[in-house]
Structure 1
Amino acid sequence: MFGKNFRLNKKISINLAVFGIFLLLSYISIALFMHEGKIILRSDGSFHLSRVEEIYQNLRDGHFFTFIASRTFSHSGVGNFLFYPTVFLYPMAFLRFIFNPVTAFYLWVGFFNFLTMATAYYCMYRFTKGNTTRSFLFALIYTFASYHLYLGLYNTVWGEFIAYTFLPLIFLGIYNILWDDTKYWYILAIGMALLLYSHLLSVYMSAMICVGLFLAKFIFYKKVEFLRIKALIKAGILTFFLSSFIFVPIVTDLIGGGLATPRRCFLWVSTIFTTFQLSLENTAATNHAIGLILILTAFLGWIIANKSSRELAIYALGVFMLCLTTSLIPWDLIQKTPLYPLLGTIQFPYRFNSYACLFLAVTASLIFESIVRLGKSQYTANILTVIASLALLCCYASIVAPQHASIIAAKDSSLSKNTASPVTIPSDVLLDKGNYKNIFTYLIMYGETDYYPKQSFDHNDISSNKNTQSIVKQTVYSKNKPFTGVTTISYAANSITYKLVSKKKQTLDLPTIRYRRTVATINGKSAVVSSSARGTVSLPVPKGHSTITVSYRPNLLYYTGLIAALISWLSIPAYLFYQKKKSA
């Protein structure tokens, strides 16, 4: 008994030490950037930082939930908070109460670096039945892959960046259900729920791959046991309850709501040669690279992986995912096939790089662990582990060095305040705590009109759509003519208030996007709301002075879903405790 407890305590101590190292590495990964106190704004950065700003301002006013944009996104009342997950933006918003926005940004990135390492370590630890060395190496390789750094630190593509954290849980879960121990079916549900809290497109892609793995199991083994199908169904049911509140606005307002959604396409496909070359350069400045270690693993990993059918299958998956990002797949031809509606939603095939990084990192960890095992004693093995870890950290340093250099070089590109007509924020501009708020004087770079009504939507070319222009310019209409009686417009959590004087009773078209659950009051009394020709709020106003407040009121099912999710999360440890007690 003493020996068993000693081994258990030793495992706990080792794992705690590992997580302590992860915390240290997470801080190191962002310390230099925090010291500079500057951000280079690119791609989706203005979109996500505007969402964080809206959440933060609402929290300051004592409102936890954010549904529509009243203070950001040109005060249009756009509901990207309804249809694009925001759960993991809240930590940054909370950090804003303690730190300046630039420091909060880097601490949030560091937090997700830690969370990615911790998740990856846990999953590999489960997968290998307690191999600490391989789990540690896998966590470093996966977290500091150049594509992950591109998503989070370089290009601020945060939906995918957050989703990347939880991909190991998805595939550990589906592996347990289809091939290993079905009693861990809940891991898939947890992974899918966290992915639903992060990035819906990643859920779609992960589900497609899981379906492919299910079909592969059926084809190669000629059957899938009922026990495993049952576990898959249980995981699906738990996923629904853990994330049901995410689906409510999609059902009540998005489906059939006449809103614009991301178009189907296949863009920015690189050749395999370009991917290979850019990966060898070991840079985070491109979406067509996975980094030096993983690209070498893609070409040489079979040498080690072919010793195990399980490892070889994972390696093959990694190579296949990498190929999906390139022109080796005839994406242009697929557009002319029935597969296009299914696959076109992906938009950018390079998004498969997240999955290529995951599976190839599994193989790379096997290679590094094989090198460590060359040590004839535990001491030598530990030294080799340290050397391998330092090599991985050197790779990380070389990946982020150009990003740091670009911050230094961009000192003359500081973002100034926009005082002109609405214009799109420029790319590669420098932010610090002094000019951070200037972001919100511009139209955002990508996504300003996402979830606008179709008649007022344009793919990042707002100047070509008169409806869109009138909304972002906050133009109020009366019979298709600008109305000049507005005296003030004020903004609060999930609401916009217009004070105006009307010379007669008339119908006004306000520049606030109208959804099915959009409501309004006139002088404190409920008003009848309809959609204007541009998809905004239209309502009759009386003669004289009026105070009109437009807001969004979620369906009661939304709050029911939140309660169901909370109960479901609490039920998981209760279920595990019951299972442990039952097997004791």
Structure 2
Amino acid sequence: MTTTFVPYYRMMRIHFWVKSVGLIQFPYRLLSLVTLFLSISASYILLKFIRNAQKRKSQIGLLILTLSMIIICYYSEQSPVIEHIYPNSEQTLLPKSKIPNSEAQLLKDATNKLVNNQNYHNIFDYEVLYGETDYYLRSAFDVNPNKGSFAPKALSICQHISYINQKQSIINPISSGNKLIYMFTLNKRSKVNLPVIAYHNTKVYDNGQLIDKKISNRGTVLVHLNHGYHKLLVCYSPNFMYYIMLFIAIFTWIILLIIYFKQSVINLNI
């Protein structure tokens, strides 16, 4: 409903808005849970309102409100979202790719473009990356004019290609919960670029010892290692705020349960 009635296409003209708020990813996976719990909350509110609506005017107001919400929700559901976000013009239609025919342009370069009967064939000029690329760093999507492709670095991560002294290498890791273990032997001191996204709290252990890491030009883990055998363990360590928020959530549920059982005991005694 908000997508339909809010003029987002005007906000898209604001450079600051696009660069800042535009980076936030909407969690569509939570919509089912949000819908369920909002429905329960709305039902509870309406039930309270109905019980308190003794006067005829209140009942008529409730009826009008309910019918209005049904109409608005139906219109929101049936209306094409993209057509309301962007006006239907030449600038918003999906263009033909400018990349040579031997290459496919990434669909992310034509995000939220419209397709009609005239430009439908243009969709075959584009390719879609794997879903995990949503979490890659921006440096993984730098343009490489020599190859004519817009994401060779991201593709190398998807293909799990490592680089040892700038040379491609395939190192199959052992994976477990929040851990990737790479085992290999080096003949000399080398720069090892692993296909693992390097976030702020990403930790790297070499033979059990925590070592410094750097961020490579594709946004992945880059370490300098001496010659010999190496067992690299790469993991992500949540920051302190994560544990604080987790504690608050658990503590809140405990308090709510205590209040619930205490109230139940009081009601039984009454």
Query: Per-residue deviation at 1:455?
Result: 2.7
Q: CA RMSD in A?
A: 4.0
State the match for 2:32 in structure 1: 161
- Change in CA separation of 1:175 and 1:498 when aligned onto 2, cut-off 3 Å: same
State the match for 1:393 in structure 2: none
Local SS of the residue matching 2:229: strand
Query: Per-residue deviation at 1:505?
Result: 1.4
Aligned partner of 2:168 among 482, 488, 496: 482
State the match for 2:183 in structure 1: 499
State the match for 1:331 in structure 2: 84
- Largest Rg, 1 or 2: 2
Q: Given the alignment of the two structures, is residue 447 of structure 1 paired with residue 199 of structure 2, yes or no?
A: no
- Aligned partners of 2:151 and 2:177: how far apart in 1? 28
Structure of higher RCO (CA pairs closer than 8 Å, 6+ residues apart)? 1
- Aligned partners of 1:334 and 1:555: how far apart in 2? 42
Contact 2:50 2:59 in 1 (8 A): no
- Change in CA separation of 1:563 and 1:332 when aligned onto 2, cut-off 3 Å: closer
TM-score by length of 1: 0.29
Query: Per-residue deviation at 1:165?
Result: 2.5
Contact 2:141 2:150 in 1 (8 A): no
Local SS of the residue matching 1:448: helix
Deviations 1:17-73 (Å, cap 9, x if unpaired)?
A: xxxxxxxxxxxxxxxxxxxxxxxxxxxxxxxxxxxxxxxxxxxxxxxxxxxxxxxxx
State the match for 2:64 in structure 1: 312
- Aligned partners of 2:133 and 2:65: how far apart in 1? 42
* Residue identity in the other structure for 2:61: S
Superposition map of 1:246-395 within 5 A: 308-327=60-79, 331-332=84-85
Contact 1:500 1:546 in 2 (8 A): yes
State the match for 1:124 in structure 2: none
* Residue identity in the other structure for 2:70: G
Aligned partner of 1:532 among 216, 225, 241: 216
Local SS of the residue matching 2:132: coil
Q: Given the alignment of the two structures, is residue 469 of structure 1 paired with residue 172 of structure 2, yes or no?
A: no
- Aligned partners of 1:471 and 1:542: how far apart in 2? 24
The aligned length equals: 195
Superposition map of 1:51-450 within 5 A: 159-172=30-43, 308-327=60-79, 331-332=84-85, 447-450=131-134
Query: Per-residue deviation at 1:533?
Result: 0.8
Identity score, percent: 24
- Change in CA separation of 1:314 and 1:454 when aligned onto 2, cut-off 3 Å: farther
- Aligned partners of 1:158 and 1:328: how far apart in 2? 20
State the match for 1:425 in structure 2: none
- Change in CA separation of 1:334 and 1:316 when aligned onto 2, cut-off 3 Å: farther
- Aligned partners of 1:498 and 1:328: how far apart in 2? 48
- Aligned partners of 2:245 and 2:72: how far apart in 1? 38
Superposition map of 1:20-35 within 5 A: none
Contact 1:498 1:549 in 2 (8 A): yes
| Runs of 5+ unmatched residues, structure 1 | 1-82, 86-156, 182-305, 336-346, 349-443
Greater strand share, structure number: 2
Greater helix share, structure number: 1
